[in-house]
């Protein structure tokens, strides 16, 4: 009997072992099938009571509209998305999703809140957002988006599901208030910044502007609060206006120390090369035009002080909007400074002085005028760039020697010609001094007679009315130069 009983027990145990092995294989199969996750949530969890009410495994009634148990026994809403007892969307493990836009259907597929399949590959739901395989939040088309779901046109930066900005290497950018615009980072005021919160230009080069001004993402120059600075550019970390002159944040022209020039009543400014330029951006220079006689009433009217150096006198003239200076009573180190402009100072009125030192003499001005700088061309004709005097030839003047072709211009100061013989000309001025005089007063045409008589006006006068002459050496013949 004992032997037979052992045989029976062996067969019985063998059957049990086979059953256990089959169950294990079934479990292993299910572990590699997402359906096991779904069934874990729902098996024996929901049912209907005798009154037709939906209840959970503890007998609690589920008071949610338009819900049901599908064939696998789990709870879904009207669109077929997995939900918990309170109507919250859940993932495949039964965890609540912080989302009302995306969820999982009863087959474990990722869908929108209305059950439309999401066709983007390698996508998940985290913190209520769709994220790609780099944990960057995206929209239904796979585009990177910001926290307000605006598309980010960037391949460098994005937002993770926690709302942090990360770069393409996955490094979090910890800058308070920073946002992404196209391929740039911007600070809370909209200025372009790098990953360490330095202001940058459009080429992503660091700006050393002490955080006072920079660029916004559309390339406008703005102050540190994001307000546009009209017609401004940044060059070498300096703020420039459209004439490339140094300005402050309020568009006032400034000197090299940042001081506003003459309380905004200016005609001149500074460029980045520390040159003086006028308000139209033309490079200006002080031109020494020579020594001229003065008298006790002074032809250059504005007294600026004694014992001033040449540079001090020039600076005072610029700050007072003057374009002519005269130094006299000097000692080769400093002198008395007078300043004026073409409207109140006819420096040549009393004629050329025979000599003077760099700071003039007794009632003798060493005169400097502030004029556009002449830049030599690289050519053999000794021409000039921008401010070129062109010699157009010899032309007859009116024969009576009084009614001249080149009459004095309307400027009353220029009408104060040295006129001992009624010829309406500056006398004892050679070609170069005549050109300087014309430039000083803004005139663009000169006529030279006998190499020492200077007639000036503008190029729109009819200087050829009496015809050309084969030579300029004859009496009453103008050698004409026009400034272009």
Please, which pLDDT band fits residue 389 given cuts at 50, 70 and 90? Answer: confident
Residue 41 above 90 pLDDT? no
Residue 125 above 80 pLDDT? yes
Residue 402 above 90 pLDDT? no
Please, which pLDDT band fits residue 193 given cuts at 50, 70 and 90? Answer: very high
Per-residue pLDDT tens over the stretch 253-278: 887 667 787 644 456 677 776 677 76
Q: Who wins on pLDDT, 433 or 234? A: 234
Q: Who wins on pLDDT, 375 or 176? A: 176
Please, which pLDDT band fits residue 9 given cuts at 50, 70 and 90? Answer: low
State how beta strands 165-167 and 172-173 pair: antiparallel
Residues 6+ apart with CB under 8 A from 425: 404, 417, 418, 419, 449, 453, 454, 455
Per-residue pLDDT tens over the stretch 146-182: 888 888 888 889 999 888 999 888 899 999 999 998 8
Residue 218 above 70 pLDDT? yes
- pLDDT for the residue 15: 72
Residue 42 above 60 pLDDT? no
Per-residue pLDDT tens over the stretch 423-479: 566 777 788 888 877 777 777 788 888 888 888 887 667 676 676 677 888 788 888
Q: Who wins on pLDDT, 31 or 460? A: 460
- pLDDT for the residue 422: 45
- pLDDT for the residue 320: 81
Residue 335 above 90 pLDDT? yes
pTM, full prediction: 0.48
- pLDDT for the residue 28: 64
Average per-residue pLDDT in the chain?
A: 79
Kindly state the percentage of the chain with pLDDT values over 90: 20
Q: Mean pLDDT across the stretch 25-39?
A: 53
Q: Mean pLDDT across the stretch 113-122?
A: 89
Per-residue pLDDT tens over the stretch 273-314: 667 776 656 667 788 888 999 999 999 999 999 999 998 898
How many Å apart are CA 451 and CA 270, to the nearest integer? 38
Please, which pLDDT band fits residue 372 given cuts at 50, 70 and 90? Answer: low
Residue 362 above 90 pLDDT? yes
Q: Who wins on pLDDT, 9 or 385? A: 9
Q: Mean pLDDT across the stretch 100-120?
A: 88
Please, which pLDDT band fits residue 246 given cuts at 50, 70 and 90? Answer: confident
Residue 54 above 80 pLDDT? yes
- pLDDT for the residue 281: 62
């Amino acid at each position: 009997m004992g032997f037979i009983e052992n045989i029976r027990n062996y067969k019985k145990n063998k059957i049990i072992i086979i059953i256990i092995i089959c169950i294990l294989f079934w479990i292993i199969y299910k572990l590699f099938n997402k359906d096991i996750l779904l069934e874990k949530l729902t098996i024996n969890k929901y049912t209907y009571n005798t009154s037709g009410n939906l209840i959970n495994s503890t007998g609690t009634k589920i008071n949610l509209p338009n819900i049901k148990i599908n064939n696998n026994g789990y709870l879904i809403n009207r669109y077929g998305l997995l939900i918990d007892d309170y109507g919250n969307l859940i993932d495949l493990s039964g965890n609540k999703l912080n989302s009302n836009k995306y969820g999982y259907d009863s087959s474990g597929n990722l869908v929108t809140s209305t059950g439309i399949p999401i066709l983007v590959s390698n996508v998940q739901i985290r913190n209520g957002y769709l994220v790609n395989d780099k944990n960057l939040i995206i929209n239904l088309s796979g585009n990177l988006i910001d926290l307000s779901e605006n598309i980010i046109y960037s391949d460098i930066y994005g937002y993770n599901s926690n709302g942090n900005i990360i770069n393409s290497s996955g490094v979090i950018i910890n800058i308070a208030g920073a946002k992404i615009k196209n391929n740039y980072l911007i600070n809370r005021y909209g200025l372009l910044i790098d990953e360490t919160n330095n202001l940058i230009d459009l080429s992503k080069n660091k700006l050393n502007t002490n955080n006072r001004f920079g660029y916004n993402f559309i390339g406008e120059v703005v102050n540190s609060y994001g307000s546009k600075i009209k017609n401004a550019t940044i060059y070498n970390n300096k703020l420039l206006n459209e004439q490339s002159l140094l300005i402050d944040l309020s568009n006032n022209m400034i000197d090299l120390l940042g001081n506003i020039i003459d309380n905004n009543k200016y005609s001149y400014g500074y460029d980045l090369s520390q040159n003086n330029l006028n308000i139209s951006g033309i490079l200006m220079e002080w031109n020494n035009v020579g020594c001229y006689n003065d008298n006790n009433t002074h032809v250059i009217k504005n007294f600026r002080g004694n014992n001033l150096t040449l540079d001090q006198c020039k600076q005072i003239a610029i700050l007072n909007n003057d374009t002519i200076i005269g130094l006299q009573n000097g000692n080769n180190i400093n002198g008395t400074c007078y300043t004026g402009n073409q409207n109140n100072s006819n420096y040549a009125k009393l004629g050329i002085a025979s000599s003077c030192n760099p700071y003039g003499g007794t009632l003798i001005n060493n005169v400097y005028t502030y004029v556009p700088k002449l830049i030599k061309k690289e050519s053999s004709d000794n021409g000039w760039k921008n401010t070129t005097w062109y010699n157009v030839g010899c032309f007859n003047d009116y024969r009576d020697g009084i009614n001249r072709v080149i009459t004095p211009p309307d400027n009353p100061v220029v009408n104060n010609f040295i006129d001992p013989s009624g010829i309406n000309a500056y006398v004892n001025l050679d070609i170069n001094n005549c050109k300087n005089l014309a430039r000083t007063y803004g005139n663009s045409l000169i006529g030279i007679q006998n190499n020492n008589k200077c007639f000036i006006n503008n190029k729109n006068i009819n200087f050829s009315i009496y015809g050309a002459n084969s030579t300029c050496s004859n009496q009453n013949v103008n050698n004409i130069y026009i400034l272009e």
